[in-house]
Protein backbone atom coordinates (compact mmCIF):
# COMPACT_ATOMS: atom_id res chain seq x y z
CA UNK A 1 0.00 0.00 0.00
CA UNK A 2 1.34 3.40 -1.03
CA UNK A 3 0.58 6.76 0.61
CA UNK A 4 2.09 9.81 -1.09
CA UNK A 5 0.21 12.52 0.80
CA UNK A 6 2.74 13.05 3.63
CA UNK A 7 5.83 13.11 1.38
CA UNK A 8 8.27 16.02 1.23
CA UNK A 9 10.08 17.23 -1.89
CA UNK A 10 13.62 17.79 -0.64
CA UNK A 11 15.11 18.69 -4.02
CA UNK A 12 13.88 19.46 -7.54
CA UNK A 13 16.12 19.65 -10.62
CA UNK A 14 14.74 20.63 -14.03
CA UNK A 15 16.44 19.92 -17.36
CA UNK A 16 15.33 19.82 -21.00
CA UNK A 17 15.93 16.84 -23.27
CA UNK A 18 15.57 17.03 -27.05
CA UNK A 19 15.35 14.36 -29.73
CA UNK A 20 18.79 13.34 -30.99
CA UNK A 21 17.49 12.18 -34.39
CA UNK A 22 16.24 15.73 -35.03
CA UNK A 23 19.52 17.25 -33.83
CA UNK A 24 17.81 18.78 -30.80
CA UNK A 25 20.00 19.58 -27.81
CA UNK A 26 19.99 18.85 -24.11
CA UNK A 27 19.89 21.67 -21.54
CA UNK A 28 21.15 20.94 -18.03
CA UNK A 29 20.38 23.41 -15.25
CA UNK A 30 23.36 24.51 -13.19
CA UNK A 31 21.54 24.30 -9.85
CA UNK A 32 18.34 22.86 -8.33
CA UNK A 33 15.06 24.75 -8.63
CA UNK A 34 13.81 26.43 -5.47
CA UNK A 35 10.11 25.63 -5.05
CA UNK A 36 7.87 28.28 -3.52
CA UNK A 37 4.97 27.72 -1.13
CA UNK A 38 2.62 28.68 -3.95
CA UNK A 39 4.05 26.18 -6.46
CA UNK A 40 4.64 23.22 -4.14
CA UNK A 41 1.02 21.96 -3.85
CA UNK A 42 0.50 22.36 -7.61
CA UNK A 43 3.67 20.46 -8.42
CA UNK A 44 2.79 17.72 -5.91
CA UNK A 45 -0.59 17.18 -7.57
CA UNK A 46 1.02 17.22 -11.03
CA UNK A 47 3.75 14.70 -10.16
CA UNK A 48 1.97 12.37 -7.76
CA UNK A 49 -1.75 12.63 -8.56
CA UNK A 50 -1.62 9.95 -11.28
CA UNK A 51 0.12 7.49 -8.95
CA UNK A 52 -2.65 7.80 -6.35
CA UNK A 53 -5.28 6.51 -8.76
CA UNK A 54 -3.19 3.96 -10.65
CA UNK A 55 -3.15 0.28 -9.79
CA UNK A 56 0.10 -0.54 -7.97
CA UNK A 57 1.93 -2.69 -10.52
CA UNK A 58 5.56 -2.56 -9.42
CA UNK A 59 8.66 -2.90 -11.56
CA UNK A 60 12.33 -3.41 -10.75
CA UNK A 61 15.58 -2.53 -12.50
CA UNK A 62 16.91 -5.44 -14.52
CA UNK A 63 19.67 -6.45 -16.91
CA UNK A 64 20.32 -9.60 -18.94
CA UNK A 65 23.61 -10.20 -17.10
CA UNK A 66 23.17 -8.56 -13.69
CA UNK A 67 21.20 -5.60 -12.32
CA UNK A 68 24.48 -3.80 -11.52
CA UNK A 69 24.97 -3.37 -15.27
CA UNK A 70 21.78 -1.28 -15.41
CA UNK A 71 22.98 2.32 -15.79
CA UNK A 72 20.05 3.96 -14.00
CA UNK A 73 20.24 1.45 -11.14
CA UNK A 74 23.80 2.58 -10.44
CA UNK A 75 22.90 6.28 -10.54
CA UNK A 76 19.96 5.75 -8.20
CA UNK A 77 22.06 3.69 -5.77
CA UNK A 78 24.60 6.52 -5.58
CA UNK A 79 21.85 9.01 -4.70
CA UNK A 80 20.32 6.81 -2.00
CA UNK A 81 23.81 6.41 -0.48
CA UNK A 82 24.41 10.18 -0.67
CA UNK A 83 21.19 12.25 -1.09
CA UNK A 84 23.26 15.46 -1.40
CA UNK A 85 24.44 14.18 -4.80
CA UNK A 86 20.92 14.35 -6.24
CA UNK A 87 21.43 17.39 -8.50
CA UNK A 88 24.67 16.14 -10.06
CA UNK A 89 23.04 12.74 -10.49
CA UNK A 90 19.96 14.36 -12.04
CA UNK A 91 22.21 15.58 -14.88
CA UNK A 92 23.36 12.00 -15.46
CA UNK A 93 19.72 10.85 -15.45
CA UNK A 94 18.75 13.51 -18.01
CA UNK A 95 21.79 12.65 -20.14
CA UNK A 96 20.85 8.95 -20.02
CA UNK A 97 17.31 9.83 -21.17
CA UNK A 98 18.78 11.99 -23.96
CA UNK A 99 20.85 9.03 -25.16
CA UNK A 100 17.65 6.99 -25.52
CA UNK A 101 15.75 9.79 -27.31
CA UNK A 102 16.52 8.79 -30.88
CA UNK A 103 13.27 7.46 -32.33
CA UNK A 104 11.45 10.06 -34.50
CA UNK A 105 8.25 9.65 -32.43
CA UNK A 106 9.92 10.72 -29.19
CA UNK A 107 9.08 14.28 -28.23
CA UNK A 108 11.37 16.82 -26.61
CA UNK A 109 10.41 17.89 -23.12
CA UNK A 110 11.33 18.95 -19.62
CA UNK A 111 12.75 16.37 -17.21
CA UNK A 112 12.16 16.78 -13.47
CA UNK A 113 14.20 14.84 -10.92
CA UNK A 114 13.15 14.97 -7.27
CA UNK A 115 14.41 13.55 -4.00
CA UNK A 116 11.53 12.59 -1.73
CA UNK A 117 11.29 11.77 1.96
CA UNK A 118 8.45 10.62 4.20
CA UNK A 119 6.93 8.33 1.58
CA UNK A 120 4.74 5.64 3.15
CA UNK A 121 5.16 2.28 1.40
CA UNK A 122 3.75 -0.88 2.97
CA UNK A 123 3.37 0.99 6.29
CA UNK A 124 7.04 2.03 6.37
CA UNK A 125 8.65 5.42 5.75
CA UNK A 126 11.08 5.29 2.84
CA UNK A 127 12.96 7.79 0.68
CA UNK A 128 12.30 7.84 -3.03
CA UNK A 129 13.51 9.40 -6.27
CA UNK A 130 10.95 10.78 -8.70
CA UNK A 131 11.70 11.18 -12.41
CA UNK A 132 9.07 12.92 -14.53
CA UNK A 133 8.84 14.21 -18.08
CA UNK A 134 6.46 16.72 -19.68
CA UNK A 135 6.17 16.41 -23.45
CA UNK A 136 2.91 17.69 -24.89
CA UNK A 137 2.46 21.46 -25.02
CA UNK A 138 -0.98 23.05 -24.94
CA UNK A 139 -2.20 26.42 -26.19
CA UNK A 140 -3.62 28.84 -23.66
CA UNK A 141 -4.57 32.51 -23.63
CA UNK A 142 -3.16 35.32 -21.53
CA UNK A 143 -4.63 38.80 -21.49
CA UNK A 144 -2.82 42.12 -21.46
CA UNK A 145 -4.09 45.65 -21.03
CA UNK A 146 -2.88 47.90 -23.82
CA UNK A 147 -4.05 51.48 -23.44
CA UNK A 148 -7.85 51.28 -23.54
CA UNK A 149 -8.16 47.70 -24.83
CA UNK A 150 -7.73 44.19 -23.46
CA UNK A 151 -5.74 42.00 -25.88
CA UNK A 152 -5.29 38.25 -26.15
CA UNK A 153 -1.82 36.70 -26.16
CA UNK A 154 -1.45 33.11 -27.33
CA UNK A 155 1.11 31.09 -25.34
CA UNK A 156 2.06 27.45 -24.89
CA UNK A 157 2.66 25.47 -21.73
CA UNK A 158 2.10 22.13 -20.01
CA UNK A 159 -1.20 20.93 -18.61
CA UNK A 160 -0.84 20.41 -14.85
CA UNK A 161 -3.76 17.96 -14.95
CA UNK A 162 -1.89 15.41 -17.06
CA UNK A 163 1.58 14.00 -16.41
CA UNK A 164 3.10 12.56 -19.59
CA UNK A 165 5.67 10.23 -18.03
CA UNK A 166 6.84 9.48 -14.52
CA UNK A 167 8.66 6.96 -12.34
CA UNK A 168 8.90 6.61 -8.58
CA UNK A 169 11.90 4.62 -7.36
CA UNK A 170 11.63 3.59 -3.71
CA UNK A 171 14.63 2.94 -1.50
CA UNK A 172 13.64 -0.62 -0.69
CA UNK A 173 14.47 -4.08 -2.07
CA UNK A 174 17.80 -2.86 -3.47
CA UNK A 175 19.12 -6.39 -3.99
CA UNK A 176 16.09 -7.17 -6.15
CA UNK A 177 16.42 -3.98 -8.23
CA UNK A 178 14.35 -1.59 -6.05
CA UNK A 179 10.56 -1.26 -6.17
CA UNK A 180 9.45 1.11 -8.96
CA UNK A 181 6.14 2.54 -10.18
CA UNK A 182 5.78 3.98 -13.67
CA UNK A 183 3.29 6.23 -15.46
CA UNK A 184 3.17 6.68 -19.23
CA UNK A 185 0.20 8.56 -20.67
CA UNK A 186 1.53 8.49 -24.24
CA UNK A 187 1.42 4.90 -25.51
CA UNK A 188 3.25 5.49 -28.79
CA UNK A 189 6.70 5.16 -27.23
CA UNK A 190 6.27 2.82 -24.25
CA UNK A 191 9.44 0.83 -24.98
CA UNK A 192 11.47 4.05 -24.91
CA UNK A 193 10.44 4.84 -21.33
CA UNK A 194 10.16 1.41 -19.69
CA UNK A 195 12.73 -0.67 -21.56
CA UNK A 196 15.31 1.71 -22.97
CA UNK A 197 15.40 4.41 -20.28
CA UNK A 198 14.36 2.70 -17.04
CA UNK A 199 15.36 -0.83 -18.05
CA UNK A 200 12.79 -2.58 -15.86
CA UNK A 201 10.70 -5.71 -15.70
CA UNK A 202 7.87 -6.74 -13.40
CA UNK A 203 8.53 -6.91 -9.66
CA UNK A 204 7.26 -10.34 -8.66
CA UNK A 205 5.47 -9.63 -5.39
CA UNK A 206 2.07 -10.67 -4.01
CA UNK A 207 0.28 -8.14 -6.23
CA UNK A 208 2.02 -9.55 -9.32
CA UNK A 209 1.23 -13.19 -8.53
CA UNK A 210 -2.37 -12.49 -7.46
CA UNK A 211 -3.06 -10.59 -10.66
CA UNK A 212 -1.29 -13.10 -12.92
CA UNK A 213 -2.92 -16.15 -11.32
CA UNK A 214 -6.41 -14.71 -11.61
CA UNK A 215 -5.77 -13.83 -15.26
CA UNK A 216 -4.56 -17.39 -15.80
CA UNK A 217 -7.79 -18.68 -14.21
CA UNK A 218 -9.84 -16.40 -16.42
CA UNK A 219 -8.22 -17.83 -19.56
CA UNK A 220 -8.58 -21.40 -18.23
CA UNK A 221 -12.29 -20.76 -17.73
CA UNK A 222 -12.64 -19.51 -21.30
CA UNK A 223 -10.42 -22.14 -22.98
CA UNK A 224 -11.28 -25.25 -20.94
CA UNK A 225 -14.35 -24.83 -18.68
CA UNK A 226 -16.55 -23.21 -21.33
CA UNK A 227 -15.99 -25.89 -24.03
CA UNK A 228 -16.25 -28.72 -21.48
CA UNK A 229 -19.30 -27.37 -19.64
CA UNK A 230 -21.16 -24.20 -20.64
CA UNK A 231 -21.20 -20.42 -20.13
CA UNK A 232 -22.89 -20.71 -16.76
CA UNK A 233 -20.12 -22.97 -15.42
CA UNK A 234 -17.45 -20.68 -16.87
CA UNK A 235 -18.93 -17.74 -14.97
CA UNK A 236 -19.40 -19.78 -11.79
CA UNK A 237 -15.82 -21.04 -11.91
CA UNK A 238 -14.47 -17.47 -11.98
CA UNK A 239 -17.06 -16.55 -9.38
CA UNK A 240 -15.70 -19.17 -6.99
CA UNK A 241 -12.08 -18.38 -7.89
CA UNK A 242 -12.40 -14.67 -7.09
CA UNK A 243 -14.26 -15.38 -3.85
CA UNK A 244 -11.59 -17.89 -2.79
CA UNK A 245 -8.93 -15.20 -3.25
CA UNK A 246 -11.09 -12.61 -1.48
CA UNK A 247 -11.56 -14.64 1.71
CA UNK A 248 -7.98 -15.93 2.09
CA UNK A 249 -4.74 -14.17 3.04
CA UNK A 250 -2.52 -16.93 1.62
CA UNK A 251 -2.93 -18.84 -1.62
CA UNK A 252 -2.37 -22.61 -1.58
CA UNK A 253 -3.06 -24.30 -4.90
CA UNK A 254 -4.35 -27.66 -3.64
CA UNK A 255 -6.94 -25.99 -1.40
CA UNK A 256 -7.88 -23.68 -4.26
CA UNK A 257 -8.50 -26.56 -6.69
CA UNK A 258 -10.54 -28.58 -4.17
CA UNK A 259 -12.75 -25.59 -3.34
CA UNK A 260 -13.15 -23.97 -6.74
CA UNK A 261 -13.40 -26.82 -9.28
CA UNK A 262 -16.70 -28.68 -8.96
CA UNK A 263 -16.01 -31.21 -11.69
CA UNK A 264 -13.07 -33.42 -10.54
CA UNK A 265 -12.32 -34.29 -14.18
CA UNK A 266 -11.22 -30.68 -14.70
CA UNK A 267 -8.48 -30.80 -12.03
CA UNK A 268 -5.97 -32.70 -14.23
CA UNK A 269 -7.02 -30.40 -17.09
CA UNK A 270 -6.14 -27.42 -14.90
CA UNK A 271 -2.72 -28.87 -14.03
CA UNK A 272 -1.98 -29.66 -17.68
CA UNK A 273 -3.08 -26.17 -18.72
CA UNK A 274 -0.75 -24.69 -16.11
CA UNK A 275 2.24 -26.71 -17.38
CA UNK A 276 1.45 -25.66 -20.93
CA UNK A 277 0.45 -22.02 -20.43
CA UNK A 278 1.92 -21.15 -17.01
CA UNK A 279 5.15 -19.59 -18.38
CA UNK A 280 3.08 -16.98 -20.23
CA UNK A 281 1.82 -15.75 -16.84
CA UNK A 282 5.07 -16.39 -14.89
CA UNK A 283 3.25 -18.81 -12.58
CA UNK A 284 4.57 -22.17 -13.86
CA UNK A 285 6.42 -22.86 -10.58
CA UNK A 286 4.09 -20.93 -8.27
CA UNK A 287 1.64 -22.69 -5.96
CA UNK A 288 1.88 -20.63 -2.75
CA UNK A 289 1.95 -16.84 -2.24
CA UNK A 290 0.40 -14.08 -0.09
CA UNK A 291 -2.79 -12.68 -1.64
CA UNK A 292 -2.99 -8.95 -2.45
CA UNK A 293 -6.51 -7.72 -1.70
CA UNK A 294 -6.20 -4.72 -3.97
CA UNK A 295 -5.41 -6.95 -6.96
CA UNK A 296 -8.42 -9.14 -6.13
CA UNK A 297 -10.70 -6.09 -6.07
CA UNK A 298 -9.32 -4.94 -9.42
CA UNK A 299 -9.83 -8.41 -10.92
CA UNK A 300 -13.41 -8.57 -9.64
CA UNK A 301 -14.22 -5.38 -11.54
CA UNK A 302 -12.63 -6.56 -14.77
CA UNK A 303 -14.11 -10.08 -14.94
CA UNK A 304 -17.30 -10.36 -16.94
CA UNK A 305 -20.07 -12.12 -15.00
CA UNK A 306 -22.81 -12.00 -17.64
CA UNK A 307 -24.29 -14.80 -19.75
CA UNK A 308 -25.19 -13.28 -23.10
CA UNK A 309 -27.80 -15.17 -25.13
CA UNK A 310 -28.49 -14.96 -28.86
CA UNK A 311 -32.09 -13.97 -28.07
CA UNK A 312 -30.85 -10.56 -26.83
CA UNK A 313 -31.26 -11.55 -23.19
CA UNK A 314 -28.51 -11.22 -20.58
CA UNK A 315 -28.29 -13.02 -17.24
CA UNK A 316 -26.02 -11.31 -14.74
CA UNK A 317 -24.49 -13.54 -12.07
CA UNK A 318 -23.62 -12.30 -8.58
CA UNK A 319 -19.91 -12.61 -7.65
CA UNK A 320 -20.65 -12.03 -3.97
CA UNK A 321 -23.16 -14.87 -3.66
CA UNK A 322 -22.21 -17.69 -6.03
CA UNK A 323 -24.59 -20.10 -4.30
CA UNK A 324 -27.49 -18.06 -5.69
CA UNK A 325 -26.58 -18.95 -9.26
CA UNK A 326 -25.97 -22.59 -8.38
CA UNK A 327 -29.29 -22.99 -6.52
CA UNK A 328 -31.62 -20.79 -8.51
CA UNK A 329 -30.48 -21.03 -12.15
CA UNK A 330 -31.00 -24.21 -14.15
CA UNK A 331 -30.14 -24.94 -17.78
CA UNK A 332 -32.17 -27.31 -19.94
CA UNK A 333 -33.19 -28.33 -23.46
CA UNK A 334 -36.68 -27.88 -24.93
CA UNK A 335 -37.40 -30.65 -27.46
CA UNK A 336 -40.41 -28.90 -28.96
CA UNK A 337 -38.63 -25.59 -29.63
CA UNK A 338 -35.24 -27.24 -30.20
CA UNK A 339 -33.66 -24.57 -28.03
CA UNK A 340 -31.74 -24.36 -24.76
CA UNK A 341 -33.33 -22.48 -21.87
CA UNK A 342 -32.41 -21.11 -18.44
CA UNK A 343 -34.91 -21.54 -15.63
CA UNK A 344 -34.55 -18.86 -12.96
CA UNK A 345 -36.20 -19.24 -9.54
CA UNK A 346 -37.07 -16.25 -7.32
CA UNK A 347 -39.49 -15.14 -4.59
CA UNK A 348 -40.01 -11.55 -5.69
CA UNK A 349 -38.54 -8.94 -7.97
CA UNK A 350 -36.11 -6.51 -6.38
CA UNK A 351 -36.93 -2.82 -6.63
CA UNK A 352 -34.24 -0.90 -8.50
- The number of domains in the chain is 2
Distance separating alpha carbons of residues 122 and 3, to the nearest angstrom: 9
Give residue 324's pLDDT: 64
Give residue 235's pLDDT: 85
pTM above 0.85, yes or no: no
Give residue 352's pLDDT: 65
Do residues 165 and 228 share a domain?
no
Choose the final residue of a domain: 203, 232, 257. Answer: 203
Distance separating alpha carbons of residues 170 and 178, to the nearest angstrom: 6
Give residue 132's pLDDT: 98
Residue 352: inside a domain, yes or no? no
Distance separating alpha carbons of residues 56 and 294, to the nearest angstrom: 9
Report CA-CA distances (Å) from 104 to 94, 108, 189, 243, 263: 18, 10, 10, 47, 55
Do residues 125 and 23 share a domain?
yes
| Residues of the chain falling short of pLDDT 50 | none
Choose the final residue of a domain: 203, 224, 256. Answer: 203
Give residue 321's pLDDT: 63
Do residues 48 and 176 share a domain?
yes
**Structural domain harbouring 86:** 2-203
Amino acid sequence: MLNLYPLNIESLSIHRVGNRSRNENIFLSASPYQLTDELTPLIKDYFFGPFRTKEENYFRFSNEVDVEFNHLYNIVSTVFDDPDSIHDSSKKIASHLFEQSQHPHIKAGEVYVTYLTNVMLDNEKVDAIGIFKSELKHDFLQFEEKESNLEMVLQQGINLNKLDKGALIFNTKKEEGYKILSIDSNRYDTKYWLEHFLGVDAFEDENFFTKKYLKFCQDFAKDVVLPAEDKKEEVLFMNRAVNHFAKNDEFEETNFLNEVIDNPDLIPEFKHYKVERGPKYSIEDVSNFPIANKAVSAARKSIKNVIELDTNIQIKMDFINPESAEKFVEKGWDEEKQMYYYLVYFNKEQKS
